[in-house]
Structure 1
Amino acid sequence: MRRKVYTKDQILKAAYEVVAKEGFKGFTARNIAKKMGISTQPIYLEFKNMEDLKNTLLDSIFDQLKEEVFPVEHTGDKIIDLGLNYINFAKKHHSLYMALYIDEHGDGKKMHDFSYNYFYEAAKKDEKYSHLSDEYIDALHTGTWVVVTGLASLMSSNIMQPTEEQIISLISRTIDSVLSLDNPEIIR
């Protein structure tokens, strides 16, 4: 009888579904195997350990965010658009958003680094921000991160539902406030 072979992609898909539904607290070989209807053995044949699977999963999620979620244009301002896309992701994929950005079992440092690097590159590609020093970009990141994370959390929990126009206004005012500072270090 032929043995069924499970691919890395199939395991990653199941791992993604587990995290998207249960968060990283449910990210175990047993739960992923159960999702696939298999033993845990194929998981350990494809990945060195669960940390390897988690890092591979996060990298694939980063690719998805970079290619499909974050670059969607709304206003033409890359920072405002990034904020809107982050908030929309949190609303549309609440459990996955919570697992990635809020969950203590996730990898908050890796998520922060990914988000910061994406933000930095987006700012440097936008004519409005490309001339700014790293200090101002850092301050812009901190200021807008606080605003959009607060909005994302409140909106994805249905506590408040501002319009897109109101969200754009809040992000714009944050950007303007940071850019008007004599010393951007005050934000960091």
Structure 2
Amino acid sequence: MRRKVYTRDYILKSAYELVEKEGFGNFTARNVAKKMGVSTQPIYLEFENMQDLKDTLIDEIFTELKQKVFAQEHTGNKLVDVCINYIDFSQKKPKLFISLFIDESGGGKKMYDVSYQYFKEVVKEDPTYKDLPADFIEALHDGTWITITGVASLMASGFITPNRQQIVEIIQHSIDGILEINKQK
């Protein structure tokens, strides 16, 4: 029996490299296969279709982000740290950031959904936020998401260049403002 040469992991690695370099705009079986130097057949032997490959790839990337990027500590406040790490990721890998978090043909909604689940986990681990009602957590997520995506996008385009302390202050003001508005409701 012949041994499988192009494994699921190899295909995912090639797909990742393609998305990291070109985004999801060129995410086709033909382009992934070209990256691997083969026909499209190995892709369809391992994945049901391109959507299956894309979903699997996004899941793998987010798992890696949770473990290696978002978990880094900077301030001791887990929520602020996650926000800083998101902004740092946007600066280190801008094309991948846009593909995953901005471009709806890419990660878009799926990344928003998995990020929200992760956000809830982080918030529940932090004594400062753990007792917040669900509507506060949702408002906090949406507000910080808007703020940090704005900061990340403006930094990536070169329009603003805040230092780390300014970024922390922007994030903390956003968190404080969102919590205050929700308390008043």
Q: What TM bracket, shorter-length normalisation?
A: over 0.9
Q: TM-score, normalised by structure 2?
A: 0.95
**Letter of the 1:105 counterpart:** S
Provide the residue aligned with 1:143 in structure 2. Answer: 143
Runs of at least 5 residues in structure 2 that lack an aligned partner in the other structure: none
State the identity %: 56
Shift of 1:158: 1.9
**Letter of the 2:133 counterpart:** S
SS where residue 180 of structure 1 aligns?
helix
Provide the residue aligned with 1:104 in structure 2. Answer: 104
Shift of 1:182: 4.8
Shift of 1:14: 0.3
Provide the residue aligned with 1:17 in structure 2. Answer: 17
Provide the residue aligned with 2:26 in structure 1. Answer: 26
**Letter of the 2:80 counterpart:** I
Q: Indicate if the aligned counterparts of 1:135 and 1:184 stay in contact, CA closer than 8 A.
A: no
Equivalent residues in 2 for 1:85-104, closer than 5 Å: 85-104=85-104
Provide the residue aligned with 2:130 in structure 1. Answer: 130
Shift of 1:104: 2.9
Shift of 1:107: 3.4
**Aligned pair count?**
184
Q: Indicate if the aligned counterparts of 2:136 and 2:182 stay in contact, CA closer than 8 A.
A: no
Task: Please identify, of 34-43 and 155-164, the stretch whose mean Cα deviation from structure 2 is larger.
Answer: 155-164
Q: Distance in 2 between matches of 1:9 and 1:45?
A: 13
Shift of 1:181: 2.2
Distance 1:132 1:42, change over 3 A: same
1:120-178 CA deviation, whole Å, 9 max, x = no partner?
Answer: 11011001111111111111111111110001111122221100100000111111112
Runs of at least 5 residues in structure 1 that lack an aligned partner in the other structure: none
SS where residue 99 of structure 1 aligns?
helix
SS where residue 6 of structure 1 aligns?
coil
SS where residue 74 of structure 1 aligns?
coil
Q: Distance in 2 between matches of 1:176 and 1:182?
A: 10
SS where residue 160 of structure 2 aligns?
coil
Q: Distance in 1 between matches of 2:37 and 2:182?
A: 59
